[in-house]
A and B are shown apart, each in its own frame.
Chain A
Amino acid sequence: MFTLPLLLLLAQLDLYEQGTAYLRAGRLPEAEAALRRHLEAHPGHWEALANLGAVLSRREDYAGAIVQYRKALALAANLAPLRLNLGLAYFKQREWGKALPEFDLFLAAQPGHRQALQLRALTLLELERYPEAAEAFSALRPADATVDIGLATAYLRLGRPAAAQSILAPLLERGDSPEVLLTVGQALMAEDRLEEALEAFGKARRLSPALPTLRLHMGAIHWRNKRVAEAIAEWRGELAQHPESAEAKFTLGSALAQSGGDRMEAERLLRASLKQKPRHAKANYQLGKLLWQAKRNGEAVSCLEAAVNADPEYREAHFLLGSVYRALGRNPLAEREFAAVKRISAKQLSAQQDLFSEPQ
C-alpha cells in the first residue's frame, strides 16, 4: 500500500511529465498550467523551471521566460544550454546588452556551437559593434544567406558598401529573397544609387509586404529626394505594421520635427522611442532640438546631455547643448561644450592626415 504523501508525490510528478509531454506536443497553454501547478509544490525543480521557460518563450512571453530561466540557473548554474535559452529570450526581447553575456557564457562551454555564434554575431550587429560583428560573421562563412546578409549589413554600417555588394551579388544570383533584396537596397543606397535601391525595395515589398525596416528605407530614399510627404507616408506605414519599432518612432518623429510637421506628434513619437531606447543619441538630440526650438530650454538640456553622454563624439549635440547652456546663463558649462566641439573637429581632421604615407 502506498502512503498518502507518496501518492501525492507521484501525482505531482505526473504533472511535470504531463507538462513536458504537452510542451513536446505543442499544447502550450496546457503545458504551462501543468508545469506551474507542479512548481507550486516543487519550486526547486530546475528542469521544470527550464521547461516552463521554454513554454513561455514559445508563447512569446519572453519576460516571463527570462524569470523562469534565471530561477533555473540559480539552481543549476553550470547548465550551459540554459544560458543559450536565456540569451535567446533576451535576444527576442530585444535586450541585446543582456543577451550577449549569456551567449558568451554558453560559448565558453561550447565554443563551436554555430547557432550561438550566429546569434552572438547578430547581437553585436544590433549593439552597433560593427567591427566585431563583421569579424564574427566572417568567421562563420561559408554559411547560409543569414550569415552573408549579416556580414553585408555590418559592412554597410562600417561604411564599406563595395564590400557589402561583393557578398550580396552571389546571393542575388541564387534567387529572390526579400531579406537579400532589402540588404542589396541598403548597399545601393549607401552608394547613392537611389532609384535602383527603390527598385530592390519594391521587389522585396512584393515578396514580403510587412518585412521589418523595409518601409523605413523606402521612406529614407524619398526623404533624400526631398519627397517629404511620400517619406512620411512610408514611415507611418512602417509604424502601423510594426508598432513596437523604436526606430520607426524615432524616424517619423524626427521627420515631423524637421519638416515643420505636427510638433506635438513629433515630441510624442520621440519620447516613445526614447522610452524603449533611452540612450539613443540621435533621438535625444532631435528631441532636445525640438524643445530648444520651442524655447523649452530647461527640458532641452536634459535631452542634449543624454545625447552627449550616449555619444561623446556627437559634435552637433555638443554645440546645441553649449548654445542652450549659454541661453540659460550657464556660461562655464557652455564653454566646456564649445571646447568639446573644437576637440572633436580637430580629432576628425587628424584622423584624415594619418591615413596616407609616401610609398617606400
Chain B
Amino acid sequence: MKPYDGEGFAGKALRERGGTVYRFDREQLRLERGGEFRAFPIAWLFGAGHFARTPVLSVDGRWVEHRLSWYAAPNRLSLTPGHSPQPSSSWEESVGVVQSEKNAARCFGCHMTANRPGVHCESCHGAQGEHPVAKTIRRDRSVAACAGCHRSPLREYASPAPEMEDPLSVRFAPVGLTVSRCYVGSRRAKQPLDCVTCHDPHADAGPRASYDAQCLSCHVRRARAACPRGPECASCHMPKSTPLPYLTFTDHRIRKPD
C-alpha cells in the first residue's frame, strides 16, 4: 500500500458496457457518464503491485474501494474482486463501494505494513511493552495469526474441497491449508505443519521449488519412489488457480493431483 502516484493507472482508460468511461492520471480518476464529467482525487493504492493494485478514494470523509483495479500480469485495468459484474448505474457505483468505518479499519489493518493500524511486530508477537520480548510465536497460533488477514474457513462448516465449492476461496490460503491431510494429520506431530513451515513471515514468498525441502522432510522415501514428476512438488500437489480474471493463486489445499 502506498499513496496514489498513478503507477499502473496513469494514462489508462476503460469503457464500461453501458457507457461509463474511466480515465486516470497521476492524481485522480476522471469519470464520464452520459456526456457529463467528474473528477475524484485518489488517496491510496492498496496492494504491493506484484499482482494487482486497487485505488482507495476518500469521498465526503468516507473510504471508497474503487471499482477498477490494475492487474500486473496483463498490465491492464479490470473489475476489482467482489464488485458487481453488472454495468454501474450511478456515479456512486462507478466510483466504487463505500466502506463502513469498521470495514475500512480492517482494510487498512491488513494492507498497511510496519505501521499502525496495520501489520506490525505486535500483530503477531503480541503486545510486549517497549519492545517485543518473545522471539517466536507459538506454532499452533501461527495459522490463526496469519488467518487474521489471509482469512480462515467458516468454523461451522469446513468443506473438504473448498476450491470446488467456492473457487474464490483459493485467495485465502488458510482455508485450503486447514483441510489438507498434511495439516490435519500433523497436528500431533512434534513440528506440525503450519504457515511458517514454508513461509518466512518476514520475507516475500520464494520460488515454488524452494518449498520441496519442506515436503520431503516428511515424504522423503515414498515421494521419491512414487512421484514420476520430479522437483516442484507444489506444481501438482498445490496447483495454481485463476478464479478471477488476471489473478492466479496457489491453492493451499495440499492433495493428490486430480
* A residues apposed to B, CB below 8 Å: 155, 158-163, 165-166, 191-195, 258-260, 289, 293, 315-316, 319-320, 322-323, 338, 341, 345, 348-349, 351-360
Determine which of B21, B79, B98 lies in contact with A355 in the assembled complex, contact meaning CB atoms within 8 Å: B79
Within the assembled complex, what's the spacing in Å between the Cα atoms of A319 and B93?
Answer: 32
Secondary structure of the B side of the interface? mixed
A31 CA to B15 CA in the complex, in Å?
65
Residues from 149 to 188 in B contacting A, C-beta threshold 8 Å: 156-157, 159-161, 164-167
Closest beta carbon of chain A to B249's beta carbon, Å: 13
Closest partner residue, chain B, to A349 (CB atom):
B245
Q: What does the 1/0 interface line of B126-170 toward A look like (CB < 8 Å)?
A: 000000000000000000000000000000110111001111000
Number of residue pairs A-B, CB distance < 8 angstroms:
92
Interface residue? B121 (CB, 8 A):
no
Tell me if B21 and A359 are in contact (CB < 8 A). yes
A319–B157 contact, CB under 8 A? no
* Interface residue tally on B, bucketed by range: 35 or more
Shortest distance in angstroms between B1's beta carbon and chain A's nearest beta carbon?
A: 21
CA distance A355 to B84 in the complex (A): 10
Given contacts A341-B165, A349-B243, A352-B78, contact A159 B21 (CB under 8 A): no
Find chain B residues with CB under 8 A from A166 CB.
90
Q: Complex formed: what's the CA distance from A353 to B159 in Å?
A: 28
Pick from B15, B92, B93, B164: contact of A357, CB below 8 A.
B15
Contact A193-B98, Cβ < 8 Å, known A160-B89, A338-B164: yes
Report 24 cross-chain contacts, Cβ distance below 8 Å, ordered by A residue.
A158-B86, A159-B84, A159-B86, A160-B84, A162-B89, A162-B91, A162-B92, A192-B100, A316-B166, A322-B164, A323-B161, A341-B164, A345-B167, A349-B242, A349-B243, A349-B245, A352-B79, A352-B244, A353-B78, A353-B245, A354-B17, A355-B85, A356-B17, A357-B14
CB distance from B14 to the nearest CB of A (A): 5
Q: How far is the CA of A194 from the CA of B243 in the complex (A)?
A: 29
Say which residue of B16, B90, B103, B244 sits within 8 Å of A162 (CB atoms): B90
